[in-house]
Amino acid sequence: MRIALDAMGGDYAPEAIIKGALLAAEQLEKEDEILLIGQEEVVHSLLKEYGYTGQNIKVVNATQVIGMAEHPTKALSQKTDSSIAVGYGMLKAQQADAFCSAGNTGAMLVGAMFSVKTIEGIIRPTIAGFVPKLSGGFGVILDVGANAECKPEVLEQFGETGSIYAKYVLGIENPKVGLMNLGEEESKGTVVTQAAHQRLKNNPNVNFVGNLEGRDLFNDKADVIVCDGYTGNIIIKMAESIYEIMHEKNIKDPFFDNFNYETAGGSPILGINGNAVIGHGVSSPLAVSNMVVLAQKMISSKISERFRKNYSV
Amino acid sequence: MRIALDAMGGDYAPEAIIKGALLAAEQLEKEDEILLIGQEEVVHSLLKEYGYTGQNIKVVNATQVIGMAEHPTKALSQKTDSSIAVGYGMLKAQQADAFCSAGNTGAMLVGAMFSVKTIEGIIRPTIAGFVPKLSGGFGVILDVGANAECKPEVLEQFGETGSIYAKYVLGIENPKVGLMNLGEEESKGTVVTQAAHQRLKNNPNVNFVGNLEGRDLFNDKADVIVCDGYTGNIIIKMAESIYEIMHEKNIKDPFFDNFNYETAGGSPILGINGNAVIGHGVSSPLAVSNMVVLAQKMISSKISERFRKNYSV
């Protein structure tokens, strides 16, 4: 498989990204490739500096860089030779099986919709996050930032797409789906969550277990946590900050260590014609390496095709 | 001061409540009183069983009990001699300076609006919660469950009422107010948070510091955290579960110990004509005792009068 990686995206790019690529390369099969996209000389000189001599990493030139704070749509239309534009171009042309970037999140999202585009039947693509479970492993939470506001039918579809992801990528049979809410009773919550609850309850493709409360995030009540991007983003960032505080306090625990953003490595964009993963802006080499591993799992599980099949009419 | 306490409300009532009253009584001034409201014989026999011989605790008879799962409005209208109805009756008649209950949250909220009523000028009363700060002390977060959905002007007013509470009860001069959101930029978030951001920014009575992200909950960015009750409820319950997990794992830390619901003791209802505090359903004696202490602080800070003065035209 060929995994395209944006060498220029992220607060610590290109150094951290290229170091991450080297870590990931050690875990790849002989025939697998990491396609490092960025300013050729810069990337080559760093690979040399880090003493890379292997065959798994190839460099693809992209002369421009989209800054972390740039306006996504404007940047993408103006910087057609930016690493993100080139990466999505390769994904669309099937010169890459996945594209990973720790760069501008908005540009990654807009780039996906402009290039490989949303799968027909998917109402809104979503960014998925991961929540560690006390019983081990991770649950998937969606959305974590692509859609601040969601209609009931969008939340319902998150239950479907989250289930497909949990089954084929996380390997959870008949994943339990819960709706984030402020109470267990189905009458609780906003007009939107009340309507979404009814839709999920009546959806034959979803193993709906009902509403979840803030205290249910880490227990076994659900494998798929459905919420709007506003709520999911707050939950994920709160969990990250808990880890950072523990880290500073030198509190070590296998469960809480999974709150570390580096463990998951990145957040997949679900519902597009291709595999794309968005990394944390502060991505370290370890995070970048795990982002590549996440992309590998998505490729080998054929998750994008499974979405397409599921929604094709 | 006279603090009315619902002896029958909570999963472990009346035992835990009465034990909590005994703990609180030790911290009261000679002239202060705890008015235990509940079925006389039951309360008296337990006070006797626990060996209470002091003068600070008085018993007020209430023959009925509102269950934790009962429909608030129906229960209150039918059970006029329930401990919650009697408690609010005393608060309204100024036979009590505050009313605390770990019972049915909905009944506590509806009871407040039926009896002492919402302060004129307050759009929606709110339930406030507390978030521990790394620098010590607590910030106040509102709403945590009274209003799942909030209009921009309601969120704006939470900024005002939260500031008044932080100043007079928590003793924070010129408290910093932040709006819970998924990004720092004012363009981020939902239509409601975008509009609320502008209102808070232009409100001369609020020291607005802008949007907060999930990672800002425990730092010094803000003393008052503004959000709708859906979001606040999820945040508070997630924090509680973090504490419970650490507790089970026997991880001890002064900061994270403040995530324990027992520390704050309860959640005040802000914006009503009187002091009311809602306790956690599972309230332990320690939590009940701290709920009484919280009520004491609200009484001595004259918080309810301050709200009235602030909104009187």
A239 assigned to some structural domain: yes
Q: Give the CA-trace dihedral at A226, A227, A229, A235, to 10 degrees.
A: -100
pLDDT tens for each residue of B62-78: 999 999 989 999 999 99
Can you give the pLDDT at residue B195?
98
Please identify every stretch of chain A with a pLDDT value under 50, giving residue numbers as ranges.
Answer: none
Measuring CA to CA, which residue among A180, A240, A215 is closest to residue B242?
A215
Question: In whole angstroms, what is the distance from residue A161 CA to residue A188 CA?
Answer: 24
Chain B nearest C-alpha distance from A64 (Å): 25
pLDDT of residue B287 exceeding 80: yes
- Give the pLDDT of residue B313: 72
CA distance B285 to B291: 10
A105: closest chain B residue by CA = B183
**Contact B193/A253, CB-based, under 8 Å?**
no
Give the residue from chain A lying closest to B237, CA to CA.
A214
- For residues A51 and A110, membership in a common domain is answered with yes
Minimum CA–CA partner of A194 in chain B: B148
Q: How far is B29 from chain A (nearest CA, A)?
A: 37
Determine, for residues A190 and B253 on separate chains, whether the beta-carbon distance falls below 8 Å.
no
Predicted pLDDT of residue B303: 97
B252 and B280 housed in the same domain: no
B-chain residues within 8 Å CB-CB of A182?
145, 148, 229-230, 233-234
Which helix (H) or strand (E) segment holds residue B268: the answer is strand B267-270
What b/e sequence results for B187-226 when a residue is b if at least 16 CB atoms lie within 10 Å of its CB, and e otherwise? ebbbebbbbbbebbeebeebbbbbbbbbbbbbeebbbbbb
Same domain, B196 and B175: yes
CA B306 to chain centre: 17
Residue A313: per-residue pLDDT: 72
Whether residue A165 sits in one domain with residue A220: yes
- Residues from chain B contacting residue A145 (CB–CB below 8 Å): 182
Domain containing B290 equals 1-122+271-302
The Cα angle at residue A127 between residues A122 and A130, in degrees rounded to 5: 125
CA distance B2 to chain A (A): 33
> Looking at the domain assignment, is residue B192 inside a domain?
yes
Q: Are the beta carbons of B148 and A182 separated by less than 8 Å? A: yes
B196 and B291: one domain?
no
Is-contact A279 A293, C-beta < 8 A?
A: no
What residues contact A280, with CB distance under 8 A and at least 6 apart?
A10, A102, A261, A266, A287
Distance from A248 to chain B by nearest Cα, in Å? 11
Question: What are A131's strand-pairing partners?
Answer: A139
Q: What average pLDDT does the segment B208-230 reach?
A: 97
Distance in angstroms (rounded) separating the CA atoms of residues B309 and B222: 25
pLDDT at B312 over 90: no
State mean pLDDT over B163-168: 97
**Spatial strand order in the sheet of A33-38:** A57-61, A33-38, A2-6, A98-101, A276-278, A267-270, A126-132, A138-142, A224-226, A176-180, A207-212
A213 contacts on B by Cβ (under 8 Å): 233-234, 237
**Cβ-defined contact of A214 to B242 (cutoff 8 Å):** no
- Our CA-based measurement puts residue B162 at a distance from the nearest CA of chain A, in whole angstroms, of 20
CA gyration radius for chain B? 19
- Residue B89's H or E segment, with its range, is helix B83-92
How many CB pairs below 8 Å do chains A and B form together? 109
Phi, psi dihedrals of residue A63, rounded to the nearest 5°: -80, -25
pTM equals 0.96
Contact B168, A279 (CB under 8 A): no
Whether A285 and A220 map to the same domain: the answer is no
Q: Is A199 in a helix, a strand, or coil?
A: helix
Closest residue in B to A248 (Cα–Cα):
B134
B311 inside domain: no
Nearest to A245 among B218, B234, B245 (CB): B218
Tell me, yes or no, whether B45 lies in a domain.
yes
In order of A39, A182, B121, B187, B248, the CA distances from B226 in angstroms are 44, 16, 19, 17, 31
ipTM of this model? 0.95
Q: Does a structural domain hold residue A312?
A: no
State the burial class of residue B310 (Cβ atoms within 10 Å of its Cβ: 0-12, 13-18, 19+): middle
Asked if A140 and A196 sit in the same domain, the reply is yes
Tell me how many domains chain B contains.
2
Same domain (yes/no): A177, A234:
yes
Q: Which amino acid is at B274?
A: G
Q: Helices B15-25 and B40-49, interaxial angle, to 10°?
A: 60
Radius of gyration of chain A (CA): 19
Give residue A309's Cα distance to chain centre: 21
pLDDT tens for B61-118 read 999 999 998 999 999 999 999 999 999 999 999 999 999 999 999 999 999 999 999 9
Separation between Cα atoms, residue A275 and residue A266, nearest integer Å: 12
More confident residue, B153 or B30: B153
**CATH number, domain with residue A18:** 3.40.718.10
- Whether A177 and A117 share a structural domain: no
pLDDT for the residue B119: 97
Q: Please tell me which of the candidates A191, A253, A256 has its beta carbon nearest to residue B149.
A: A191
- B153 and B235 inside one domain: yes
* Residue B68 counted as domain residue: yes
Q: Tokens 């981020």 map to which residue?
A: B188
Residues A110 and A192 in one domain: no
Examine residue B96 and state whether it is found in any structural domain, yes or no.
Answer: yes
Rounded to an integer, the average pLDDT of B110-129 is 97
Residue B271 has pLDDT above 80, yes or no: yes
B249·A230 Cβ contact <8 A: no
Residues in A touching B230 (Cβ below 8 Å): 181-182, 189-190, 193, 231
Phi then psi dihedrals of residue B19, to 5 deg: -60, -40
Model pLDDT for residues B6-48, shown as the tens digit of each residue: 999 999 999 999 999 999 999 888 899 999 999 999 999 999 9
Tokens of residue B269, six digits: 């209802």
- Same domain, yes or no: B104 and B173: no
